[in-house]
Amino acid sequence: MSDETSKGVVGFIGIGTMGREMAINLAKAGHRVKAYDVRREAVDALAPFGIDAAASIADASTAADAVVTMLPDTPDVEAVVHGDGGLLAHPPAGRLVIDMSTIAPGAVRRMSADLARIGVAFLDAPVSGGPIGARNAALSIMAGGDAAAFEKARRFFSAMGTTITHVGESGSGQAVKLCNQLICGINLQAICEALALGRAAGVDLPRLREVLMGGSAASWMLDKLGPQMIEGDASAGFRIDLMLKDLRLVAQQAAETNVPLPATSLVTTQYLDARAHGEGSNGNQALFRVYDRMSGQAPA
């Protein structure tokens, strides 16, 4: 059985902000989940959801129909695939690895080729929708790689997301995700500028946001992060450091393909300014503090 509703065994590696919610939704959908993270406490906290703790990558992987990875950056995924005791040495029984992190498309293609040599399919399937989308099983999932492997993975994707799209060959899921991140960063910058302008004019910011959400300036960022920006709540969410990682990947891709991205360059500078002021572990909405400083309009 491998239709969209059939249940399987998933090894889940990376139980962080996103991975925790995604693993829980896989379990809620009836899949058997075995979870591994270098932070054992993150895995143990999943016991109430019927998720088993794995002691190692091999323990999570060998009996699984598929392994899902949700890790911070390219070297972390490479370590889980290539490292001592990693997936190349201990591939899943179902011969399917699905990386849902945001990482470099070139690294995806290399890992895909290495795993293909031992008969294991590798999908790059990054996500959009943030921790709220992850919690609500409402992620947008953009997958690159073999079409038959994508169909095998669909039953797992449908437990975590609502928009599930095969976008092309290996690495193209990440290419689409980088386009997504470019829009998110520049959109957040536009919101910062609008809030700074409105604040200086003495406009009530919650009311400004409400009006904007009812018109053509509405966006996910304004909807989900706007209230935190206005209240000065910098808790993460999606960390400034992770967005800087994504903007670095965007810049690499742009350089390799000769595409000028002036607006992305500018917003990257502002994210770097945020990190230089100690905001790296804060949520993306803390970009507004760059505007607080530039405008001298910081809230009392």
Active centre residues (catalytic): 177
Question: Which run of H or of E encompasses 32?
Answer: strand 32-36
Q: Contact between 76 and ligand NAD (CB under 6 A)?
A: yes
Q: Which stretch binds ligand NAD (CB under 6 A): 68-76, 104-112, 150-158, 222-230?
A: 68-76
Q: CA 263, CA 14: separation in Å to the nearest integer?
A: 32
Whose Cβ is closer to ligand NAD: residue 18's or residue 192's? Answer: 18
Q: How far is the CB of 69 from ligand NAD (least distance, A)?
A: 8
Q: Which of 210, 191, 14, 9 is nearest to 94 (CA)?
A: 9
Q: How far is the CB of 228 from ligand NAD (least distance, A)?
A: 13
Q: CA 248, CA 250: separation in Å to the nearest integer?
A: 5
Q: Contact between 40 and ligand NAD (CB under 6 A)?
A: no
Q: Contact between 13 and ligand NAD (CB under 6 A)?
A: yes
Q: Contact between 187 and ligand NAD (CB under 6 A)?
A: no
Q: CA 118, CA 74: separation in Å to the nearest integer?
A: 21
Q: Contact between 106 and ligand NAD (CB under 6 A)?
A: no
Decide: 150 and 166 in contact? Cβ < 8 Å.
yes
Please pick, from the candidates 31, 67, 96, 102, the single residue that binds ligand NAD as defined by CB under 6 A.
102
Strand pairing partners for 96?
121
Please pick, from the candidates 105, 130, 226, 280, the single residue that binds ligand NAD as defined by CB under 6 A.
130
Whole-angstrom CA distances from 107 to 134, 220, 251 are: 25, 29, 15
| Residues at the contact surface with ligand NAD, assessed by CB under 6 A | 13-19, 36-39, 42, 70-72, 76, 79-80, 101-102, 127, 130-131, 237-238, 242, 246
